[in-house]
Structure 1
Amino acid sequence: MKKLILIFIVLAVYQQWGRIDTYLNPPPDFASAHNGKAILYATSWCGYCKKARELMRQNGITYYEYDLEKSDEGVRQYKALGGRGPVPLLLINGKVIKGYNAGKILEYAGRG
């Protein structure tokens, strides 16, 4: 029984590691270099990146964009924020959003 509980705890920690890691290691303040604007880490060909751009434009959210295929600094920041997979990754008011999530984008930008 103790082994089963331990396995359950390990699986729960594994599934929530992104949240736990963000809590233990808050994201760096890259936005201060861009006058507090949201930052979008994206590629030119990504459909969800395009949707994120459109959503922010439609809602008056000012942002700075790093094209990860052209910017070494953008890649460095992307990795420092825990980016390991698909794009987009957004940094809005100190909070990281991995992937396209319209609700979180608007909420974190104070528009939701």
Structure 2
Amino acid sequence: MATDTAPDRILMFGAEWCGDCRRSKALLDRQGVEYDYVDLEAVDDGADRAYAVSGRTQIPVVVFPDGTFFVEPTDAELAAKLG
């Protein structure tokens, strides 16, 4: 069963007002990666879920099916992880 810490596909927690979130989301979109997006402005428990994964309040939090995650990844880090 998929969870926030081991999703079936990439799971990103972010918000529209967050520049790093928009940048990471754009990279995923450009690479044609399928992912689930949790908008912290629209999902009541989104921030709590992101914090439960990362232990931090910074966003974006990008969680991978292998259970690893990045907080505020650079484009280079994210692209390298995507292979």
TM-score, normalized by the shorter chain, greater than 0.5: yes
Which residue type is aligned with residue 47 of structure 2?
A: V
Q: 2:5 aligns with which of 14, 28, 35?
A: 28
Structure 1: 5+ residue runs without aligned partners? Answer: 1-26
**TM-score using structure 2 length:** 0.79
Q: Which residue of 2 aligns with 1:104?
A: 77
Structure 2: 5+ residue runs without aligned partners? Answer: none
How far did residue 75 of structure 1 move?
2.4
Which structure's residues are more often helix, by fraction? 1
**Higher RCO (CA < 8 A, seq sep 6+):** 2
1:40-82 deviation line (CA, Å, top 9, x unaligned): 1001111111111110111111111001122134223212112
The count of corresponding residues between Structure 1 and Structure 2 is 79
Percent of pairs identical after alignment? 22
Runs of 4+ in 1 over 3 A off after TM superposition: none
Confirm or deny: 8 A CA contact 2:38 2:46 kept in the other structure: yes
How far did residue 83 of structure 1 move?
4.3
Which structure: larger Rg? 1
Confirm or deny: 8 A CA contact 2:61 2:71 kept in the other structure: yes
Over the aligned positions, Cα root-mean-square deviation in angstroms equals 1.8
